[in-house]
Every structure is written in structure tokens, then in C-alpha cells.
Amino acid sequence: MGVISDLPTTDPRIGHPHKLTSPFSWVCSNVIGYLAPALLPPLHIGLFYYFWHQYSRHVDKRYCTCSCWDTVFKGTYESGIASYKHLYFNATGNTLKIWCLTVGAVILLYECVRQLTFLGLRCRLRFSMTLLFLSSLFSHYYSWWVFVNYWNDEFYSQWNHQLFFTITEVVSTAFVMRLADSRVKVTPSTILCIVGIALVHVLTSGTDQFVLNVVRGEGYMHQVMRDVSLMIPDLLHISLPVIELARAQKIRLDKDMRKNMCILVCIVVCGFVVSSLL
């Protein structure tokens, strides 16, 4: 991890293999890849602090205690009722799940950002797909945060519903990352998969919290910001891929296009039904 492959590839401009790496591109792609997962949580907590610091309570580090901590990771150094710590965690199965999810999320984010940076330095970046990836960062981060809280609070009533959104979002981002390389051909089937998933998300959100919190104005500011931040990427995933497809090839209502449109309708209908049942 963190080292770009040195395998040769063929550059169509010069017609022979060449080495893809350079010290500058290697350093930049790795540094930027590191900064993305390093900065997101502080920004998130900082935003929480902005909205909720007036409601938070003062913690007296000298006298506060915690009786919900099993103190296992402290070994022989501490047991029983614990004193103040900046971080507590219990040695449980859910803690292991949270750790594995977090490690996986950090690695994937690092690799995606590193790859996009590398493509940009090699002038092979498709900017519309890059914009889609950047717009989806909050959605993925929100999914990670939600699952961490589900396991941490042992609250699972919305688990299946959120899992559907997360899986489909990951599938969509996988297509986006593939198309981020300008050498990869834009095809109707790939574009329609991205658009179909986004349409499912928009329809599901439109019948869920978005209307209540945003349209009717019944949500708190942080709920409105969350729902808008989740809706805008889906709208971009509908419009930008269609524009990219139209630019890459002329869209004609031929037999293949009608077939793809039927597939798109099936994806949207089936996805909406499944998400409504979860």
C-alpha cells in the first residue's frame, strides 16, 4: 500500500513501454491520499462542536469516573471504576467490528484519493468523474459514521435500510473510479448504472427524511445540512454522467438505447421497492 506499481505500460503517444512513476507524482499522490482520511474526522467533529458546544457539559478531569469501561486494554495498570481518559474502548465484538470497518474505510479512501491524484499528475483525469467522487465523500463518510454508531449504541432498527444505501453507493463509486481514467471508454451501460443508483437514492430520500426536514422545514439545521449534502451528490450523479455520455458519443434512440433505458427503469423500480421494504 502506498507504492505505485512499477510495471511498465504502453503510452499510445510514443508507442513503447515506459515507467509510470516519478518521485514528484509518488510523493504528491501519497501525501494527498493521507490527508483525506486524516482531515475528515476533525472537520466532522469541528462541525458538531459548532452546533452543539453550547449544550455540552464541562468535564472535571480530576473527579470524573467511568463505570462502563471494562479496562481490559489497560491490563494490570487499571481496573474497576476508571478515571478520566480521552479515549475509552471495551474489548467486545462490536469494538472489533468498528475497528475493522474503520481500517477498511481509511485504506479505501486513501487508495482512491491517491489514484485520482496520480491520474491528475499524468494528465489522464476525467474531471467530471472526479467531481462525482468528491461529491460522494460525505455520503461514504456518513455511512461509516452511522455504522460506527449502530455498533457502538447497539441500535439496529435502521441497519438494513442504511446497508442498502451504502452498498449501492459503493457500487456507484466503483464505476466512477473506473471512469476517472480518461483512457477508459464511456459506455451507456456504465453510465446508466450510475444514473440508476442515483435515481433510486433520490426517490427513496424524497419519500423519507428529505421532504420532512428540508421541504417542510421541520428539521434542525444539522439535519437540513445533512439531507442536502446527501441529496446534491445524487443529483450530480444523474446529470454529469448523462452529459459525459452525450459528449463521448451521440445519443440516439436506437434499439440498444431503448434496451438500456428499459434496464435503467428496472434498476430504479426494483431498487426503490427494495429500499422501501427495508
The string of DSSP codes covering 182-249 is: TTSPP-HHHHHHHHHHHHHHHHHHHTTHHIIIIIS--S-HHHHHHHHHHHHHHHHHHHHHHHHHHHHS
Per residue in 97-142, pLDDT (tens digit) is 999 999 999 999 999 999 999 899 889 999 999 999 999 999 999 9
**Residue 164 placed within a domain:** yes
Q: What confidence tier does 19 reach under pLDDT thresholds 50, 70, 90?
A: very low
What pLDDT does residue 21 have? 57
**Residue 157 placed within a domain:** yes
**Residue 213 placed within a domain:** yes
> Are 105 and 166 a contacting pair, CB within 8 Å?
no
Q: Is the pLDDT of residue 277 over 90?
A: no
Q: What confidence tier does 246 reach under pLDDT thresholds 50, 70, 90?
A: confident
What pLDDT does residue 134 have? 95
**Residue 28 placed within a domain:** no
**Residue 54 placed within a domain:** no
Q: What confidence tier does 10 reach under pLDDT thresholds 50, 70, 90?
A: very low
Task: Give me the domain span that covers residue 219.
Answer: 39-46+63-277
Q: What confidence tier does 18 reach under pLDDT thresholds 50, 70, 90?
A: very low
Helix residue spans in 73-126 (DSSP H): 93-121
What pLDDT does residue 257 have? 67
Give me the number of domains the chain comprises. 1
Q: Is the pLDDT of residue 254 over 70?
A: no
Q: What confidence tier does 59 reach under pLDDT thresholds 50, 70, 90?
A: confident
Distance, CA of 269 to CA of 265 (rounded, Å): 6
What pLDDT does residue 49 have? 82
Neighbours of 180 (CB within 10 A): 22
**Residue 17 placed within a domain:** no
Distance, CA of 33 to CA of 83 (rounded, Å): 37
pTM over 0.85: no
Per residue in 170-187, pLDDT (tens digit) is 999 999 999 999 999 998
Q: Is the pLDDT of residue 43 over 90?
A: no
Percent of the chain with pLDDT over 70: 88
What pLDDT does residue 16 have? 40
What pLDDT does residue 236 have? 95
